[in-house]
Structure 1
Amino acid sequence: MEVVGHSFMSIAEEMSAALQRTAYSSIVREALDFSTAVFDQNGNLIAQSDNIPTHLGSMGGTLKGILKNHFTQAEIFEGDQIMINHPYMGASHSPDILLFAPVFVKDTLVGFCGSMCHHVDVGGIAPGSAPGNATELYQEGLLIPPVKLYEKGIENQTLISIIRANVRMPSYTLGDIRSQISANEIGKKRVRNLYEKYSIKTIQEIVQAWETYSENRIKSKIKAIKNGIYTASGHLDDDGVVKNEQIQLHVSIEILDDKMIYDFTKCADQAKGPFNVTEETVNAVAYYITRCVTDSSVPQNEGAYKPIEVRTKKGTILNPHFPAPVSGRYHTIMRLSDICLEAMSKALPDRIPASSNAHATTVAIGGNNPKTNDYFVYYELNGGGMGARPTKDGLSGIDVHVGNCMNVPIESAELEYPLLFHTYELHQDSGGMGEYRGGLGIIREIEMLEDQLTLTTRGDGETTNPKGFYGGLDGRPGQKILNRGTENEQRLYGKTTSLIVNKGDILYFETPGSGGYGSPKNRPKEKVIQDYKDGYISAKAMKEVYNLEIEDN
């Protein structure tokens, strides 16, 4: 079981490596915003690459929906590639395109290989398909219901033409789709070899045992947590349409013997703006939190999800009515993850970190690229501070929780796009002070090198400080400023959409830090001094918080 189970895990990871190596866009090639997985013939997850927690469980749920509602197994053939990006049919938001390829052994369908990839643009009203002011799904880009991109090895040229005609960077979008196809084909070959080596019957028996093994391990860890109901609340700044009106989020997590029950039914009604979340993506939050508080080394397969129950209410922000927009769902589930961890801190006070930046500051810039004379879209998710931990400082400048994306290196971005980066550094004093210091957010400054570029920013955490725990101080929120320090300085709304910027304009932004853990009085003097020497804290903060002054040499 261990040999075969880890073979499937290796296949998923090899698929991931192949997709990254062949990808066109920086959001895939550099930021690694994609996942790959292997499923059985019924859509149950066997193994998934350790890429993006947002995709946990959602790929399998999407595949099951396809098999139930769109294609029977009798309608699926060798050489097929089934595509979907429709959020109300299983995908998370329209830029996430999924491809599933069936695996046949001796004319028997034994499983599927799948890839889920964030594409830099799929159309819509704003470059990057990330409008902060969308009020309906149709404004967020091209919608693709389950359809065969390939059938029996023959490419669907009509579908390719439709995609090409609706996206701003067709060479990148179609190039990344080719990378997904390549990843799926490699997965098919490896899975087929595995079945042929051991026989279909043997592998299917082992897969069932593998899932039961994960299920039992997760259940044993849940049993170790005290039975009870643990709650927490929080909010988003707003929904991008109704400005400055907070969106309330609430979770109740019940530990009932060997089950974890997540109740999100008390969250706010669905938002007018694009920060709603469909059910499959809400499930990913519950799966991620469960892995965090139990045992992340448990093999990631269908069995690991069986002890988890998720409850939502139709018409709320976590289960909206079609066609509510959902492109900003990432920011909602980031905040939701932070709230879930806060709830679990009441059951596991020595395991849970303080509040993190809990969203990723999105920057999308579009316009004409004179180097190629084509339309370009620069798209990036910027990380911030991770909350201080019960025994360690928090990490700085990273994509936390259900994220896990990397940054796009400045050198790579400047080679591809008409942009110049002036600053990329950690934001001093943004991490909450404490016995353990919260991780710092980042500062970036981006200069536009062409006229008539379109700037879209999307973020949250600009009106509320990330919470410190157990006497730790709060971290700092984020902000965005255009032309900072000049007579044309302009504080930008956190969810600015399609702002026209010109050559010489400079976008300055700070991402949120995170909360500290424990009283600052308990932080050793030598650590405080080292923080100052490393530039993490200022002399002013050192004096005000820790009552220490640095002596000039």
Structure 2
Amino acid sequence: MPLAHEHAPDPEIALRMEPLRLALQGTADRMQAGMMRAAVSSIAREGGDCAAALFLPDGRLLAQARSLPLLLGSLIPAVAGVLARFPLAAMSEGDAYLLNDPWSGGTHLPDLALVHPIFLDGQVIALAAANLHHQDVGGMAAGSIPPDANEVYQEGLRIPPVRWRSADGMQPDIDAILVANSRMPDNLRGDLEAQWIALTQGARELRQIVRHIGPRFKEACDALLAQTERMTRAALAAAPDGAWSWRDQLDGSDTDTAPLTIAVTLRKQGDALVIDFEGSAPQVRGPLNASPAAMLSAALFFMRTLAPDAPNNAGCLAPLTLKLPPGSLVNPNLPAAVNARTATVKLACNAILGAWSQSASGTSVAPHAGVATVLALSGTRMDGQRWMFTEIIASGAGASVNASGRAGVSTDVGNARNTPLEVIETEAPLRVECYEIRRGSGGDGMQRGGDGVRRAYRLLEGEGWIAYRGERHVGRARGAQGGDAGANSVARVLRVGGAIELLPARARIAWSAGDVLIIETAGGGGWGSLAPAESAGPLVRSCP
């Protein structure tokens, strides 16, 4: 029986599809690479905390870079937010639109999205989009990720879709507002320019592609999206029908101390899938709330895993219905704080994978640690110069029936890169005294869970602030099929006088020259039980 929406393109279009797919993917990847090369802030230049993609004029995702799923998925609502406020007929050549508002297609405020219409012969033929985590966009804490925020107004400058640039150049009024609200205005301007470079590169290459493909470019693009839909629906159709649920818990915070439930149910019927987060905790006063744009990243990542060889576009979303209860942790109402949404999205993605692993078609796998520690360090040098540094620290992957989990790796929607120690010590008055795999932090089992990471930073001069956003300080990544849970995360500050200050999962504290911050991220769950005599036991050791 043929699948829904299944039809073959005509021969002329079919000949163009594979060259077009490769050209579009190459353009998206080069946009990403160009943005990283041009970025000023190390979190984008070294860590890769940015994303680039191409869209059709109606807002459908046409191609995306193979980079950071956490940001790639959120570009879809960002483009929709721009189109809702600036219809195509109102756009002009040279325009670029800016936003970060979580209720207009954004995620959290440091992630500024730019959208650029691509014109050819006076018509919009596509849209180029880029998202980048900026060093600082204001708010109550340097780095704009205050773990003690209770509402979005404390987190920084909130920007609905606005025209940032025209053919005459950057809009000076918008630029003035942006730099007046940033502690690092040169970084902000430089990183926005890096995004603009990526967009103009994408526009230049796409116009060449259209000229090469010819007048049937739109038809060929539609055929690529249809191909991805067919391949995704085929993968779903081959799986048994059913419903599978999974629950996990986020650590609480100073404002919401109780653990917070992430609940998901997958309902698969034929070639369609519902992902339903009903039962998740209500929205909270702290910053763990995740906007729908952020949650779409988790869903898009999962849908792409069903048919990984399909063209990298929005066709994979056609079989999906995503349900996010209003007023909940995964769909909060204004003015919810949202800057720590990474932990929520990662555990939500973990939950989707956990639920799917219960189906006959899913690979039996233990949960990942689900931790991407976001660390914003700032301070003042002895000469009065301000410094700021943001880093993302990975954790451990869950083991599976086939293999042990990988250590110190970004999993699921994470794909951020390691920041070299030389960069850290160049940009900030810090000495990294310990950087290693946290041996034994993965859960024991027939297949051992992946280990987390350990880092220790000593502040060398002046005073400063630590904004720490972690996860799994209380909860643990549970094992599967009798495997043990991974170890908890631990963070602490060793004061010069010898005192030790333990940090909760989310904290903002002051530190002084000589103090040492130690971060140990959680391990992934183990798979399969071992006899007591076979167990390796806990091997976790700590930095001095």
Q: In the aligned structure 2, how far is the partner of 1:48 from the partner of 1:110?
A: 17
Counterpart residue identity of residue 328, structure 2: T
Q: In the alignment, what sits opposite 1:284? A: 297
Give the Å deviation of 1:486: 6.6
Q: Give the 5 Å matches for 1:29-428.
A: 29-68=45-84, 70-199=85-214, 201-243=215-257, 245-292=258-305, 294-348=306-360, 351-369=363-381, 374-428=385-439
3-state SS, counterpart of residue 142 of structure 1:
coil
Gaps of 5+ in 2: 1-16
Aligned residues: 525
Which moved further from structure 2: 476-485 or 31-40? 476-485
What secondary structure is seen at the aligned counterpart in 2 of 1:57? helix
The structure-2 alpha-carbon separation of the partners of 1:484 and 1:226, relative to structure 1 and needing over 3 Å to count, comes to farther
Q: Is the 8 A contact 2:381 2:463 kept in 1?
A: no
CA contact (8 A) 2:439 2:540 kept: no
Inter-partner Cα distance in structure 1 for 2:323 and 2:135: 32
TM-score (norm 1): 0.92
Deviation at 1:522, TM superposition (A): 11
> Does the 8 A contact of 2:408 with 2:451 survive in 1?
yes
Q: Deviations over 1:116-157 (max 9, x none)?
A: 111121111111111111111111111111111111242211
CA contact (8 A) 2:137 2:157 kept: yes
Structure 1 partner of 2:529: 519
Q: In structure 1, how many angstroms separate the alpha carbons of the residues matched to 2:335 and 2:329? A: 13
CA distance in 2: counterparts of 1:170 and 1:317, whole angstroms: 32
Q: CA deviation at 1:349?
A: 7.2
Q: Which residue of 1 aligns with 2:512?
A: 502
Q: In structure 2, what is the Cα distance between the partners aligned to 1:122 and 1:32?
A: 19
Q: Give the CA deviation at 1:37.
A: 0.5
For residues 162 and 369 of structure 1, the distance between their equivalents in structure 2, rounded to whole angstroms, comes to 27
1:6 aligns with 2:22: yes
- 1:26 matched to 2:42? The reply is yes
Q: Which of 484-493 and 444-453 deviates more?
A: 484-493
Partners of 1:235 and 1:248 within 8 A in 2:
yes
Shift of 1:295: 2.3
More off after superposition, 344-353 vs 179-188: 344-353
Structure 2 CA distance for aligned equivalents of residues 38 and 455 of structure 1: 37
Runs of 4 or more, structure 1, over 6 Å off, are none
User: Structure 1 counterpart of 2:250, which letter?
Assistant: L
Question: Matches of 1:443 and 1:227 in 2, distance apart?
Answer: 42
Paired with 1:2 and 1:240, the residues of 2 have a C-alpha distance of 53
Distance 2:415 2:117 in 1: 28
CA-based RMSD of the aligned residues comes to 2.0
Q: Displacement, 1:465? A: 2.0
Structure 1: give runs of 5+ residues left out of the alignment: 541-553
Does the 8 A contact of 2:441 with 2:539 survive in 1? no
Partners of 2:96 and 2:164 within 8 A in 1:
yes
Aligned counterparts of 2:117 and 2:399: Cα–Cα separation in 1: 44
The answer on whether the counterparts of 2:429 and 2:460 sit within 8 Å (CA) in structure 1 is: yes
For 1:539 and 1:173, locate their aligned partners in 2 and report how far apart those are by CA, in whole Å: 40
Specify the code of the residue in structure 1 equivalent to 2:238: A
Match of 1:547 in 2: none
Equivalent pair of 1:168/1:376 in contact (CA under 8 Å) = no
